[in-house]
Amino acid sequence: MNASDEFSALWLSVQLAAITTVLLILIATPLAWWLSGTRSRARPVIEATVALPIVLPPTVLGFYLLVLLGPYGAIGRWWVELTGDTLSFSFTGLVIASCVYSLPFAVQPLQHAFEALGRREIEAARTLGATPLDAFFSVAVPQSARGFLNAIVLSFAHTLGEFGVVLMVGGNIPGETRTISIAIYDRVESLDYTAAHTLSATLLVFAFAAMLAMYLVNYRGRRNA
Amino acid sequence: MFTHIVRSLRLAVTWWSLGLFLVPVTSAGAELRVAAASNFGAALAELAADFESRTGHRLRVSLASTGKLYAQVVNGAPFDVLLAADAERPELLERSGTGVPGTRFTYAVGALVLWSRDPSLAGGDCREALSATAIGHIALANPETAPYGAAARDYLRRAGLWTDVEARLVYGENIAQTLQFVASGNARAGFIAAAQALDPRLPGATCRWEVPAELHEPLEQQALLLQHAEDEPAAAEFLAYLRADAARDIIARHGYLLPAR
């Protein structure tokens, strides 16, 4: 593996993490908002489902995704008819897998942020004539900025570090599904420890920087509050 | 208070170690740790059962790609015997002193099979899936780490098909995952070990084609006694068993060619 392969693996992971994070914020925001306010009996069931990827081994997710996304699976069959290609072994498939895998890392910080909000300001905005959407964006979102930051950093970092699921549904295709964690694994297996060190150290420094930034912001926020 | 806690902990540890000591006492023979290439799994399960019933020893088998096993052995994994999928890595281990010199031999010669369950390939020999105009993914094991993957790449290059299929290739982490890709239908066709193609649990194949042995580097699978087991007679016994007729019959039945004696 030469330097350009390593860069391409890193860049692929960054793209995957960025796209997954954007999609997850779009999915998780309404879900977390609903969860934070609902008294529905379905709430614990939904919460448990969202939390599953934290406790399930990636191999379980990877195995089910491989079965579901394959041409004989429920989603895969439909996708093959639509596009002529399988979802497994594709970047799109990895995006879907990553959204499942990192869902709790987006939903939980947002839900906690929304739960900590006073509902009174929102009700005040509503009585002043704001639509629910308006009230949400002008009152709830700015007050939950830290929750959003946490959700973004955690989803991004968690997706960047994804390994087991990608190994099982990715197929290790350079530039398409060979992410940085797979590239590191390959290097270790072929005893190319120099390249493995370079890639691993890059990931380590990035992960530490992301976590540090998040905790610094959280700490400042708490001190100012 | 503190003394009380420590005393209970010691009691717990004592019972636990008693449990550890009881295991070797109750089992008659030795316990061997065998690291084997993924493709040999099914054959080894049968060999292990036969060997255990003959000798009373017990085998603990770890399956992985040869590349991974090599890295584990080099880094001090406590295996007694290595059954690799190639000759290169056992040779490296023998030369570096990680294996016992003079114990290396070929226990099986692998055959490579192109396999598919895709209905559109039914009736043919699967090679249709390799043509420049064909669609669908072709699975092979990672050529950098898995010998069957290297043999598949060898064949594709020698047959002049590499550039036609390169963009459609997907790489299994080892030969077992490669089989999983093609058996689940996620890949349209794939290069697997002949031994795997015999597995009765597989869905029915719509086509299979044995890649002629002269079209790739020979898949000599070699065994090696590891330094860890130098003074373990049961390990040498197992290696001797692998060369005996009883074992050779089982190995041949699982789709391997046998090395000349």
Phi-psi region of A143 (alpha: psi -120 to 50; beta: other; left: phi over 0): alpha
pLDDT of amino acid A190: 74
CB contact under 8 A, B71 and A188: yes
How many domains is chain A partitioned into structurally?
1
Structural domain including A159 reads: 3-224
| ipTM computed for the complex | 0.72
Residue in the block written with tokens 């192109």 = B114
- Is B93 touching A (CB cutoff 8 A)? no
Structural domain including B76 reads: 2-109+218-253
pLDDT of amino acid A76: 86
Residue A224 pLDDT > 70: no
B153-204 tens-digit pLDDT: 999 999 999 999 999 999 998 898 999 999 999 999 999 999 999 988 888 9
CB contact under 8 A, A89 and B171: no
Residue B19's pLDDT band (cuts 50, 70, 90): low
CATH of the domain at B8: 3.40.190.10
Q: Which residues are bridge partners to B193 per DSSP?
A: B112
B162: CB partners within 8 A, 6+ apart:
B153, B156
How many domains is chain B partitioned into structurally?
2
Whole-number percent of chain B with pLDDT over 90? 71
Mark whether B59 and B151 lie in a shared domain: no
Residue A118 pLDDT > 80: no
* Residue A5, Cβ density class (10 Å: 0-12 exposed, 13-18 middle, ≥19 buried): middle
Q: Is residue B152 part of a domain?
A: yes
Mark whether B134 and B104 lie in a shared domain: no
Residue of B nearest to A87 (CA): B186
CB contact under 8 A, B170 and A167: no
User: Whole-angstrom Cα distance, residue B52 to residue B27?
Assistant: 11
Whole-number percent of chain B with pLDDT over 70? 93
Q: Is residue B260 part of a domain?
A: no
Mark whether B103 and B17 lie in a shared domain: yes
pLDDT of amino acid B32: 94
Mark whether B168 and B117 lie in a shared domain: yes
Mark whether B14 and B137 lie in a shared domain: no
Contacts 24+ apart (CB under 8 A), A112-119: A112/A147, A113/A32, A113/A143, A113/A144, A113/A146, A113/A147, A113/A148, A113/A150, A114/A32, A114/A33, A114/A35, A114/A36, A114/A37, A114/A140, A114/A144, A114/A147, A115/A36, A117/A36, A117/A143, A117/A144, A119/A37
Mark whether B64 and B143 lie in a shared domain: no
Average predicted confidence (pLDDT) for chain B: 90
| Lowest-pLDDT choice from A197-211, B66-80, B118-132 | B66-80
| Lowest-pLDDT choice from A163-177, B43-57, B145-159, B235-249 | A163-177
User: Whole-angstrom Cα distance, residue B92 to residue B162?
Assistant: 29
Mark whether B98 and B26 lie in a shared domain: yes
Mark whether B124 and B164 lie in a shared domain: yes
Mark whether B79 and B177 lie in a shared domain: no
- C-alpha angle A127-A132-A136 in degrees, rounded to nearest 5: 105
Interface of A with B (CB under 8 A): 66-67, 69-72, 76, 84-86, 88-89, 167-169, 171-173, 185-186, 188-191
User: Whole-angstrom Cα distance, residue B180 to residue B1?
Assistant: 56
> Which pair of structure tokens corresponds to residue A205?
């420094």
| Lowest-pLDDT choice from A134-143, A209-218, B14-23, B204-213 | B14-23
A64: CB partners within 8 A, 6+ apart:
none
Residue B24's pLDDT band (cuts 50, 70, 90): very low
Mutation target vs B (from A63, A67, A89; most B CBs, 10 A cutoff)? A89
CATH of the domain at A52: 1.10.3720.10
Termini Cα distance of chain B: 70
Q: Is residue B259 part of a domain?
A: no
> Which pair of structure tokens corresponds to residue A176?
């398409």
CB contact under 8 A, A189 and B67: yes
- The whole-model pTM stands at 0.78
Residue B1's pLDDT band (cuts 50, 70, 90): low
pLDDT of amino acid B94: 96
- Is B70 touching A (CB cutoff 8 A)? yes
DSSP label at residue B99 = B
Residue A1 pLDDT > 80: no
Mark whether B104 and B226 lie in a shared domain: yes
Mark whether B13 and B100 lie in a shared domain: yes
Q: At what angle do helices A145-160 and A193-224 cross, to 10 degrees?
A: 170
Residue A93's pLDDT band (cuts 50, 70, 90): very high
A106: CB partners within 8 A, 6+ apart:
A21, A24, A25, A27, A28, A32, A151, A152, A154, A155
Q: Is residue B30 part of a domain?
A: yes
pLDDT of amino acid B164: 92
Mark whether B195 and B226 lie in a shared domain: no
A160-201 tens-digit pLDDT: 999 999 988 888 888 889 999 999 988 877 778 888 899 999
A32: CB partners within 8 A, 6+ apart:
A106, A107, A108, A110, A111, A113, A114
B23: CB partners within 8 A, 6+ apart:
none
Q: Which of A117, A163, A108 is nearest to A138 (CA)?
A: A117
CB contact under 8 A, B186 and A186: no
Quick check: A36 and A147 in contact, CB under 8 A? Answer: no
B208-242 tens-digit pLDDT: 999 999 999 999 999 999 998 999 999 999 999 99
Most confident of A72-76, A93-97, A140-144: A93-97
